[in-house]
Amino acid sequence: MARRRRSRQKKQRNQAILNFVLAGLAVAIVGFSFYALQPEPYDELTLCEISEELPPHTAIIIDKTDEYSEQQAGLIAATIRRARDRLDVGERFTLFELDQFGQFDPRGEFSLCNPGRGDQVNALFRNPERIEERFNEKFDRPLETVLEDLVVPKEAPNSPVLEAMARLGQTEAFSNRAPERRIIIISDMLQNSDVFTAYGGGGAMPEAMPSAFEVADATMRRFGNSLDGVALEIRLIPRQRYVDMQRGALKDYWNQVFAELGVDVSWRDL
């Protein structure tokens, strides 16, 4: 009888110990989950996480060195909004307009990290309504304000498309330290600079074109391998006089240049 009582007491002690261990483990898991799911601190100006590592980066370049129609302006805005909707939380999103010197007009620059929307956060640790409000106030409304000017057509005598992309690759935020670098360029791709010009052939490729290797070599000597590893999406603006060349020989030529530069390129009409 005494033996059974001692056995029962031992089992109760073991069960109590087990319950204590399980309770401690549950507290540890909840505490770790709370810590792990807390949002990282972010920079108030860029909305990017404060970190030594750069975030993934999608940059959109709008080539405003040639004019486009109101309909095309609407398609450009729609393209930008679709790219916005594909962003991951924390991914940087940059808009540039390209001027005749291959520089980016700072008046049109928008460069922020996606802070996430209300339906992209864990409601246990963050307030979805406040997150959605922050997204609208700090990210979406500024983007729409910039779009109002970015889609206004302008015209310029030069179109240094390649130099602009290579120069972008030299910036700190879009350097090869950033993972998953992606450029969407909205352009007719009718390059016109001292590197090469697509004009002068009467709607066809000019005869005195440098080889794709020579163009890539000149670009790398000037800008280094700043475009190596970039995923490039070209949204082509067709020009009536040049459309056959744009979709044929010029496209093939660009593909060779980009292959030499280590760029993974895809094409779609605007």
Q: Can you state the angle between helices 70-85 and 141-150, rounded to 10 degrees?
A: 150
Span 226-245, average pLDDT = 96
Which alpha helices (H) appear in the chain, and where do they start and end? 2-36, 70-85, 128-134, 141-150, 161-168, 212-223, 243-247, 249-261
Q: What are the residues facing 187 on neighbouring strands?
A: 236
End-to-end CA distance of the chain: 89
Domain of residue 197, residue span: 57-269
**Is 48 part of a structural domain of the chain?**
no
27 and 67: one domain? no
**Is 50 part of a structural domain of the chain?**
no
CATH number at residue 66: 3.40.50
Task: List the single range of 7-11, 49-53, 78-82, 186-190 with lowest mean pLDDT.
Answer: 7-11
30 and 85: one domain? no
- Greater confidence (108 vs 54) lies with 54
**DSSP letter at 209?**
P
Q: For residue 63, what pLDDT is reported?
A: 87
